[in-house]
Amino acid sequence: MNKEILKNETVKKLCENHLRDLLKKDVDVFERANIIDHLLLEFNCSQRQLANKLGMSHSTLADHYRYKKLNKTQFDLMQKKGFNKTHIYRQLRNNTEQEAREIVEKELIDNDLDSFIIRVRLAIREKKSSSQTVNLVKTLQNELNRLLMYIEK
């Protein structure tokens, strides 16, 4: 009987500590998602059941847990490229894990291409082109044409 009471007290303490961590504003999205993941495994319950145990809405808990779809490197790279948390969250909310990762990768590529185009335009305007630059641009043009044919299929 004492072991059962002790176990329940330990679980209650663990739950309270994790809830405090979840509610802290300075906890990053991945730490929050990992806490939820840990609790789901610890209690062997659904997200809805865990939300009830923690006294929060299921939608709030699910929103925090969505960040498990990405890894920290992808998230950091997206933020570095100018995507805000809201944009990233919407991609995660509206897509499956695989779709979200593919969309993130495509958006990062699109963002890189946009930046590259801007840099090339600036170099051309400043007339900093050498014969080597012209050859590189022609090679790039050929590669982009091949890529375009692949994408349009």
The reply to whether 109 falls in a domain is no
Task: Give the 3-state DSSP-derived string for 23-89, with helices as H, strands as E and coil as C.
Answer: HCCCCCHHHHHHHHHHHHHHHCCCHHHHHHHHCCCHHHHHHHHHHHHCCHHHHHHHHHCCCCHHHHH
- Residue 143: CA count within 13 A, CB half-sphere: 6
Model pLDDT, residue 1: 44
Q: With respect to residue 145, please indicate whether it lies within any of the assigned structural domains.
A: no
Q: What is the pLDDT of residues 88-120, one digit of tens each?
A: 878 777 777 677 667 777 777 777 777 777 777
Per the domain annotation, does 33 fall within a domain?
yes
Q: Which domain holds residue 46?
A: 1-69
Does the residue 91 lie in any domain?
A: no
Number of domains, the chain: 1
pLDDT tens readout for residues 21-36: 666 667 788 888 888 8
Does a structural domain hold residue 13? yes
Residue 107 within a domain: no
14 found inside a domain = yes
| Tokens matching residue 7 | 């176990």
Q: What number is the average pLDDT over the span 8-25? A: 66
pLDDT attached to residue 48: 92
Residue 88 within a domain: no
